[in-house]
Structure 1
């Protein structure tokens, strides 16, 4: 009998996007596209498409915790990505359920959908900062999310973005990846502050409205790379390259009437 192999395993704890472009669905696609077995814990069910979020159903906190226990008790999870957590109750449940997990934790502080709809209750922000940011191996906010976390105005230039990234490290995460896609200009710059070396990841802006799920995909791919054992800086660099290819390939897709998704499987579909 052929000896069995165990693939790298990653876990996403996030909301479900019925349109398939973001959240749990995007994370699982990103895991698979990057050769990692994906597991999931659903924190909320959203009625969502490329145009809007029309309803949110919060999963009871005890059920969220039970999902986490079910996965971690049975599988050797190499890394975890946190996305939409929605409420203080869910954040408390997640923090408690992850108490015994010592692998890499990627925290994507999902707050607002691409459509502008709120995905994190305002009263949940304090719990997020207190319970989960200090446990993050890497925090991955975009410019608007960084401003909310810091209680300040959104950065308008690379120098301000660097200052905000440095301020975010004081909230407790080991590393901060401040994503610059919301910035101005034809070059998008992401700023990574890491104990093993800071770096700037730059890419030409791709002019497309098909950017739904970019943040989820980026963070999930980082988690997938960490689950495979890559050092953080390499995990981020490879995830950045994968995301650029997914955005570029997704620009040619026509899915929905609003902000369409990136193309997670462009390399597979092209074969």
Structure 2
């Protein structure tokens, strides 16, 4: 019997990994993702990609981990456990992102990779200015299962094209969930694109209390739902329902995880 088979028989929860920054508040990034995974009853592993100094309202400093450091953390987990899905959040640059995605794909092409493209901290700190016209960005899209930009991130990534056009173009390589939290005309409505399929997920609540790290929570909730065996559209819908519950868990910027 293989090591993976032994692990499946001894733990009935699927295994997932978050590759993300360490936020000391646990409102976003690695610690938040692990809380979200636990609430969804999947077993979450954490791979650190950056060390941040921040609160829920202020971002002071960020120290990146290099590509080889991220992969070194990944390697023993992939060797020992049957990983179903991986969520990637904050990461140094496109070169590191590409190398990590290639490593995951080469180890097991069935692993579902969900990318939350964090370009800017909610407190205003700029991490990246990715150029979607670069070949390396296009190659990353081909390795992903889902990408979850918000409206402001898509504005930064779309270039001169219309946002819907870019989403449909990207969705030929990987599914796109355009988050609607910052959408000027339809706030709260998320738009899902996958090849010829386009869906709207409307808000189930009339008001929300904003939270630090809400984008991280949504993408990790979707990752958990995928690992639990749900389809991609259903995982996005269930993730949206979870994030709305999270946003309204209290009135502070730091939410509570509970399913």
The TM-score normalised by the length of structure 2 is 0.86
1:114 aligns with 2:122: yes
Deviates more, 1:56-65 or 1:218-227: 56-65
Tell me what 2:243 maps to: 243
Distance in structure 2 (CA, Å) of the matches to 1:41 and 1:226: 19
Distance in structure 2 (CA, Å) of the matches to 1:107 and 1:71: 19
Distance in structure 2 (CA, Å) of the matches to 1:27 and 1:85: 15
CA deviation after TM superposition for structure 1 residue 183, in Å: 2.0
Distance in structure 1 (CA, Å) of the matches to 2:124 and 2:73: 29
The TM-score normalised by the length of structure 1 is 0.82
| Gap change, CA 1:187 and 1:44, over 3 Å in 2 | closer
Give the length in aligned residue pairs.
246
1:129 aligns with 2:137: yes
CA deviation after TM superposition for structure 1 residue 5, in Å: 3.1
Tell me what 1:234 maps to: 234
1:32 aligns with 2:33: no
1:206 aligns with 2:207: yes
How large is the RMSD of aligned CA atoms in angstroms? Answer: 2.3
Classify the secondary structure of the residue corresponding to 1:198.
strand
| Gap change, CA 1:88 and 1:236, over 3 Å in 2 | closer
Tell me what 2:3 maps to: none
CA deviation after TM superposition for structure 1 residue 59, in Å: 1.0
| Gap change, CA 1:70 and 1:119, over 3 Å in 2 | farther
| Contact residue 196 and residue 233 of structure 1 kept, 8 A | no
| Contact residue 168 and residue 195 of structure 2 kept, 8 A | no
| Gap change, CA 1:21 and 1:73, over 3 Å in 2 | same
| Contact residue 19 and residue 48 of structure 2 kept, 8 A | yes
CA deviation after TM superposition for structure 1 residue 41, in Å: 1.2
| Contact residue 30 and residue 221 of structure 1 kept, 8 A | yes
| Gap change, CA 1:75 and 1:196, over 3 Å in 2 | farther
CA deviation after TM superposition for structure 1 residue 65, in Å: 1.1
| Contact residue 87 and residue 124 of structure 1 kept, 8 A | no
Tell me what 2:174 maps to: 174
Distance in structure 2 (CA, Å) of the matches to 1:128 and 1:83: 17
1:190 aligns with 2:183: no
Distance in structure 1 (CA, Å) of the matches to 2:165 and 2:131: 23
Tell me what 1:262 maps to: 255
Structure 2 residues without counterparts, runs of 5 or longer: 1-8
